[in-house]
Amino acid sequence: MPTPAQLVSGLALLALATKLYPAPAPWYWWHSRIDGQGHCAQISPGPGWIRGAGPFRDLRCTQAADARRQTSPPAIDPGQPEVRSISKKPIQSLD
C-alpha cells in the first residue's frame, strides 16, 4: 500500500502530466514561386514555395490560431527565406 507521501507525489505528477499535452502543428498559407497559386499546409510543400499568411488552426487556413503557442514550420530548403504576410493573395509575378 502506498504511503501518503507517495500518493501526494503521484497526484501531483498526474496533475502536471495533464498540462503537458502537445498542441497540433499550425497551418500556414504557402505561395508558389512559379505561378502564385496558394496552398494550405503545416510544412513547406518544397523549395519552390514561400510562406504567406498564418498560423491557422484548420486545414483550410480560415481560423486564426493562438499566435502565443505557435512556432515557425521547418523549411525544407535551409536557404528558403522567412516570409511573413497577412494576405492570401497570390504573389505578383516578376515577368
Buried b / exposed e over 74-85, threshold 16 CB at 10 Å, is ebeeeebeeeee
pLDDT of residue 25: 87
Task: Yes or no: say if 73 and 28 are a contact pair by the CB < 8 Å rule.
Answer: yes
pLDDT tens per residue, range 45-61: 988 899 998 899 998 99
Query: How far is residue 49's CA from residue 73's CA, in Å, rounded to a whole number?
Result: 13
**Stronger pLDDT, 19 or 73, i.e. the higher one:** 19
Mean pLDDT of 7-13: 81
Query: How far is residue 38's CA from residue 87's CA, in Å, rounded to a whole number?
Result: 11
Task: Yes or no: say if 54 and 67 are a contact pair by the CB < 8 Å rule.
Answer: no
Q: What is the pTM of this model?
A: 0.51
**Stronger pLDDT, 33 or 67, i.e. the higher one:** 33
In the DSSP assignment, the letter for residue 33 is T
